[in-house]
A and B are shown apart, each in its own frame.
Chain A
Amino acid sequence: MTIRMIVDGRCLQDPNYAIRGVGQHVRALLRYRHRQPMGSSWHLTAVLDRELPPLSRADEELFDQLRMTAYLPSAQRSVFLSTSPMTHSPLPLARLLMRPDIPRAAIVYDFIPHDMPQQYLSSQKARISYTTCLTWLRRFDHYFPISHYTSTRLQELLNVDSRRCTVTGVSVRESLLPANGTMTPPDGFVLVVGGGDPRKNPEVAIAAHGGSSRLAAAGIRLLIAGAYPEDMQRSLRGLHERAGGRPELLQFLPKLSDEELRACYTAAVCTVAPSRIEGFSIPIVEATANGCPVLASNCAAQAELLDDPKDLFDPDDSATLRRRIEAVALNPPERERVRRVQADTWRRFTEKEVGRRFWGAMLDLAAVPAPAVLRGNRPRIAFLSPLPPAPSGVADYSFATLGPLAARADVEVFSDTPDARVPEGARLVGEPSALAHLHPRFDAVVSVIGNSPFHLKEFDLLMRYGSAAIAHDARMLDFYCDVLSAERASAVASDELGRSVQQEDLNRWMQDPCTLEALFLKEIAEAAHPLIVHSPISAQYVEGRYNLSCKVLPFVPYRNFAAQEISAPARSALRRRLDIPDEQLIIASFGVVDPVKAFEECVWALEMIRAWNMNARLIFVGKTRKALVKFIRKETRTIGIENYVTLYDRELSEDEYRSWLVAADVALQLRTYQLGGLSGAILDCISAALPTVANAHLAEACDAPSYVRRVPDGISAVLVAEAIASIVADGLHRNRPLKERDAVLELRNFATYVDQLLAVVGCA
């Protein structure tokens, strides 16, 4: 059986931690998975932050899957590991921390900021962030402190039961383990491995060394490894001189490679670890692994590593330290004695030993059965979407979805549409907010995303927290360019296409969608779990381009027409009311008039049809911009069909729109661009059993039935006119294909849609 583990991977992305102790510890623990017999039964998913640099290729290989959000439907069980809970915001992962069915574990390094607030939490923001992390740290089921000292502080601070703690220690990097049989004779220096942080306290070692005339006389140097800024080095040299030291005997070694550091350990007469406070002491373990005697300050995390109290000193007591260094450095038998006492210290901290402790406890944690709660409840869904009266087809679609969804689940709707309406049964909670994503009462969160400004809040929350997402549009170009920024649009398109995308490219795509190359769906697909699309063609694009999976749900007509409403007598009656002669062929194109909908081809198709002696009239059933109205009027006047084309320069009412769906004989729904785009209008035509001519790509994307006649995607007015003529020749324009329409709606209705939606979001 595969055990799924979600791992917070942000510390491996963050340059402040990736190459330091935190990153190295996490890397070593995860690497060990493949060395244990049960390693292959684990499936690790890293949750990453898109704002941070990407993982290195080597770190990517630690995981089986990478994700940008932590959203997980209720039905999927995993264990969760927080790799650095006190350094990165817990909020993007909060949903995992509140689910009762997910066992959670955290690696805990130290509470140094808590214990030294003036040094580490000097700003209010830092204090709030730290306290937030500390509060969320309570929610873990198991902890992996890196030392007994850290474990004790954890128990003191959060009242955690010691049985929920597994002290792992930190492993020595394999590159710092001793090479077989090589023991270098001491080279006459004392080593301090520190860093720029004041708590590392090199001062006590410098004072001890500078104050020792015996060490000076013997020419024993003090080497300080670690990145110390120039001014700090100057200050420490001053301290050394004031203590009486010879300047040439103090040396700083910034940026040592592992090989160089190992050489230092093996050649040093001793290593001094003078820190005032630590969560664990890596230098002690590294030094002992290389046969180097260690003298360490008596802070708790260091004291627990060294058994002999004589090897410890007070971090402010340079005199005691001076005497101990002199004893070890100038007296070979004493040095050998200390070395022998400490010889096995490091063996508890190999990758194998540390990994064994960690993975053993993780396995136990994963075996904890999920709480056996008889819910007896319906699933509870958070649904984020624009809603009517927002002038958006997506809003209408969501409204139509919510009714049947509320019949099967408890639905709480988050929408920022002013005066939003929801159908009976659904509950409008308020504006889209993180509450939807973080509150444990929701079994699933569904965000509705579209290529318009109405979706900004849903998009932002999706990026941060993840959720199931219904992507209504096959491309998000306008949203990225108009709502986000050109810079972000360029970056996303460059990533998608693997080449640099410039502003000119974006301008060209905006002006002519036929030239569009990028879908702008990658970020959404990465954040969504699952991504739901309505077109099999969109699914092919997403899977082909991004190597990400998605679910296809059928696009469902949301305007319904009773058979009676579209019967021949009812249509005749309506046409009489609209003053349409019986013999006149009404060709209608539904939706906002736009060049991408090939309105000129519609006009020319009418011209052809009329030239073929058919009394036809074309109605554009949707708002036409004034400039386009002027253009179309001029064009149709020039070719002699002005009196047979009807345009609206205003929004149509629902009644008007429906009337034309009933009264029309043939519909024309064309798109000049492809990429899997759908059309709500074509669904209306399908629902009204209105014979339609559509270009092949659009018809296939909408999985249209046979009464939607296909013309090639290179749209020709002649072929469109021929398709209209064939519909007339078949008599479909008079007798609508109700049987086929009913068969389509039997499969494509909101009740079925909602069943499938609940299944793909894990709430079936």
Chain B
Amino acid sequence: MNRRQFLSWLRRLAKTAAAGVVGLAGSRWLRAGFLGAEAAPPAQRPIRPPGALPEARFRAACTRCLLCGEVCSAMCIAFPSRIEGSQPPLRRAPGAMERQELAPPVWRGDDTPYILPWKRACNLCMRCGEVCPTGALRPIAVDRQTIAREVRMGVALIDRKVCLPWTRTSWCGACLTACPYRQRAITVDHQGRPTVHPEHCVGCGLCVEVCPLRYKAIAVDPPFAPDRGAVRAE
């Protein structure tokens, strides 16, 4: 090896080392970003923002512009790439087994909007429908009656084998307090045990957010199946 070859070898070595250092530092930084998966309590599923079209039409119309997430005043609209620990809806709640069969698999990580109510629930500000350029989220007037009539993000299901009043563990009432349609969508009996009335529930998930149990005793079951609309309309 002569001097010229040695120098060019040195140069290549320096370049390779520099690339390696940059790559290692970069991979650490990227891992920190990429591996932040959403962790869900069991029996929780993401729901669509309020005013969303039926699932098939929503996926066709949503242009993945992320505007709904930008304007979301509750900062609840997320674009999860994957959710660890999320399961089909509650097994023990009445009717949940049937709905589980209806629910199609959800392909996440395609930058369509979801709400993860166990992290942050929707406060029904309706800005997302206002900003959506394609009408995948319909604009709905910010009005209690209109919202109660038009919004069906899902229906809350209570797991009676976990819920504090239902298991006679303690008094609670957190879901009743958080519910924007309290005494209609959620009522409690004389023993403080909550019941959801599906015909009044808009599925905002505020009850899920405030449920004090680590493994939430309440979940929102999204109407992803196409024939859920007919069931809800009754």
Tell me, yes or no, whether A binds B: no
Residues of chain B touching chain A, judged by Cβ–Cβ distance below 8 Å, are none
Residues of chain A touching chain B, judged by Cβ–Cβ distance below 8 Å, are none
